[in-house]
Amino acid sequence: VVVISAVSGLGTALVSGHTNADTYHVDAYGQVVRQQTAAGRPLTAETPSLARSLSSKPNALSLRTTPYALSAATLSNVQLQTIAALTRRTEQIFGCPQDIEWAIENDQLYLLQARPITTLLAEPEPPDGQLNLWDNSNIAESYPGVTTPLTFSFARRAYEEVYRQFCRIMGVPNNIITDHSTTFRHMLGFIQGRIYYNLLSWYRVLALLPGYKLNRRFMEQMMGVKESLPDELLAEQTPPSRGDRLRDTLYLGRTLTGLIVNYLLLPRRIDAFYDRLNNALGSERPDLKQKRPDELVAYYRNLESQLLTRWDAPLINDFFAMIFYGILRQLAEKWCGDTHGTLQNALLSGTGGIVSAEPAAHIRCMAQLTAGDNKFITLLANGSLAEILSAIPARPAFEAQYNAYLEKFGDRCLEELKLESPTLHDDPLPLLRSVGQLARHLEPPPTSYQNGAHPSPQTTASDLANKQVRASLSGHPWRRLIFNWVLKNARRLIRNRENLRFERTRLFGRARQIFIELGRNLHALDLLADPRDIFYLEVEEIFGFITGVATTTNLNALANLRRTEFERYQKLPSPPDRFETRGIVSNYQLPITNYQSSPVQPNTDASFPNSQFPTPNPQFSILNSQFSILQGLGCSPGIVRGPVRIVTDPKNTILQPGEILIAQRTDPGWIILFSAAAGLLVEHGSLLSHAAIVSREMRLPAIVALKGITHWLKDGDLVEFNGSTGEVRKL
């Protein structure tokens, strides 16, 4: 427990005894377990003795206790969590409990002094055990925030099987795959209800393939990982002995052959995958309500055997997309003089054929069909779902478009890979609201540079990029041939990557249906208090109960226990996007650095190289609003100027014309807002994330990896950004 004493104003008043302090006890989870405020106890304004004490010090500031300080708690919960985290980190650095002095000024936390607490007998031992490295840079786009045990158990099983199969397809011998079984089982981690990549497992899998050092760099780029592997973990990747070199050479040749064969056969594999998926899912949605629980289990196992463990084409395609995108970026820098690393994004914009961009076009089409129907537009924007659905049949053209949208994209939703997320089939109101809002503001494309996208870079960025390439490669026919071949492959593979991701949505949507029906069945049998309690159970716990191999049969009590735990996770600050643990992971004291409610964060010092708190970079500072420029990764070209809208709940957000959409993360469900946005700024993500790919396809100027932008800006702030350079300027 960390004990915190705090007063408003200068700490001199507390030390001298003229002011009573608020006292807080904060536990290891950042929860305030005890609190005693100074309100109601003697608190004086500036006393004569205190005034004399202060006046005797040159440059001392006078302290007056305000009425607010008499009645209100000095610190917010987030500030308390921040101070507690700083205290624990200071203890780790110095190796014993610390008595620290701190101050907060302009939302910046400062560590003023640290002294060892000598009265405590035992000193904590430094963390020991195996080092693990956790990172959610890209996976948080698919699984943002806290998710449920059902989703994690489903995702973990899928990752284990598909990457085991991927290595087999790429020519890795079966005995080596078997030796790495533990690695495949630990591709993902579950930290305080949040899904993380276990990066060491990913590197171990990648190390089985040829060109490991090259692939590692490309993988980090695709996943959006901002730091390379620590030296301690890199040492593990070194071949253990010289005696294995001959075997490794033969193995390398076999694997390289597998790479070439799989590259050549990839189009055929993708076609076969689509056929297999369509046959497994069927052309129509089955009526799962008519199936018994044991039949639902059998249906799931069939999908698992046909698809979940045969996810070969998407994995191979993703691997080559990673390779060719990385090569394209290197060639653009080396041969075309692209010093900013933005040319490849312009070359990849607007290539066409990406299914994830289709919803925006369908939404605009539905909005155009309602043009002039002011009564219906008002109903779409403000009416209840029942009222809107009852009015749709009177408009056959709109009804046809609406039904076609749900038929193709009904499984898309916010946080769509979380099994607990309701889909558009369950609740189409966000879609209808988006159509109504867009219909209100349909107008010709802007012809002037005012509160919206600058049309010139938006429409000609790809042409300008191609012109730059032609000029740079003029007189170098072999370079031009190689560059065009790499560009063609990068376009094809990235398009495939996004389209195959859509097929994953279809499969997850069917799995979601199965578990929802199982929840209803178990609730009807009084085995669960609520049908949605099914999401607090793991896949094999559910199936084991139905098939008779469960070790715990009180599903209701288990679900209640998990719900209580996960409700607590929802209240905790998020762990960092990247951190290390040692020993028992779930018992490790995690650093607390991601705050959603307040910009206050620990002020760390670069002289602490082992600090779990990333050293703040002034360029990315979220603590001081005086910085006028923020730098991220430009992923879709175009210059935009306009007011910003920070969106945390896209279901209940309506963008006004010219507004720039800002979000911590996006997933395919956010597409309902993309068509109304003048531009897109995302706090997380990589150059191959969904937001980057779809914004390029829609020619929507966008930047990702803008660390801290949701704290740096507030609704209505006027900014200008360049989707090529990744620079955002506050005006």
**Rounded to 5 degrees, what are φ and ψ at 573?**
-60, 150
- Which token pair is 696? 């390029």
Range 690-719 average pLDDT: 87
The domain defined by 618-730 carries CATH number 3.40.50.1000: no
Cβ within 8 Å of residue 276, ≥6 positions away: 306, 307, 310
Range 471-490 average pLDDT: 92
Look at residue 536 and tell me whether its pLDDT is greater than 90: yes
Query: Of 447, 216, 492, 459, whose CA–CA distance to 328 is shortest?
Result: 492
Alpha-carbon span 286 to 298, nearest angstrom: 14
Q: Give domain limits for the chain.
A: 2-116, 134-237+244-348+474-571, 355-445, 618-730
Percent of the chain residues topping a pLDDT of 70: 78
- Residue with the larger pLDDT of the pair 64 and 554: 554
Look at 144-158, 525-539, 610-624 and tell me which has the smallest mean pLDDT: 610-624
pLDDT the model gives residue 50: 42
Look at 3-7, 250-254, 611-615 and tell me which has the smallest mean pLDDT: 611-615
pLDDT the model gives residue 15: 64
Runs of H (alpha helix) within 170-244: 174-179, 181-185, 199-206, 212-223, 231-234
Query: Where is mean pLDDT largest: 44-53, 203-212, 592-601?
Result: 203-212
Runs of H (alpha helix) within 410-476: 429-440, 455-473
Residue 171 is given by DSSP the state T
The answer to whether 721 touches 681, Cβ cutoff 8 Å, is yes
Alpha-carbon span 170 to 206, nearest angstrom: 11
| Beta strands 702-704; 679-682: pairing state | parallel
Q: How far is CA 44 from CA 48, 146, 172, 441, 714, in A?
A: 11, 45, 75, 58, 37
Range 491-507 average pLDDT: 89
Write the DSSP assignment of 288-322 as a string of letters. GGGS-HHHHHHHHHHHIIIIIT--HHHHHHHHHHH
pLDDT the model gives residue 182: 93
Look at residue 418 and tell me whether its pLDDT is greater than 60: yes
Look at residue 276 and tell me whether its pLDDT is greater than 60: yes
Query: Where is mean pLDDT largest: 219-223, 617-621, 657-661?
Result: 657-661
Write the DSSP assignment of 641-686 as a string of letters. EEEEEE-S-GGG--PPTTPEEEES---GGGHHHHTT-SEEEESS--
* Averaged pLDDT of the chain: 79
Specify the DSSP element, H or E, that contains 702.
strand 702-704
Q: How far is CA 219 from CA 224, 666, 710, in A?
A: 8, 21, 27
Cβ within 8 Å of residue 27, ≥6 positions away: 1, 33
CATH fold label, 2-116: D-amino Acid Aminotransferase; Chain A, domain 1 (3.30.470)
Query: Of 218, 221, 147, 129, whose CA–CA distance to 188 is shortest?
Result: 147
pLDDT the model gives residue 219: 55
Range 412-424 average pLDDT: 87
- Residue with the larger pLDDT of the pair 156 and 97: 156
What is the tens place of the pLDDT at every residue in 81-130? 888 888 888 887 776 788 888 888 877 888 888 888 766 645 455 556 77
Range 351-373 average pLDDT: 85
Alpha-carbon span 358 to 408, nearest angstrom: 10
- Residue with the larger pLDDT of the pair 717 and 31: 717
At residue 720, the 3 state secondary structure works out as strand
pTM over 0.75: no
pLDDT the model gives residue 518: 97
What is the tens place of the pLDDT at every residue in 314-329? 988 988 998 898 899 8
Position 168, amino acid: R
Range 193-204 average pLDDT: 89
Range 644-648 average pLDDT: 91
- Residue with the larger pLDDT of the pair 313 and 221: 313
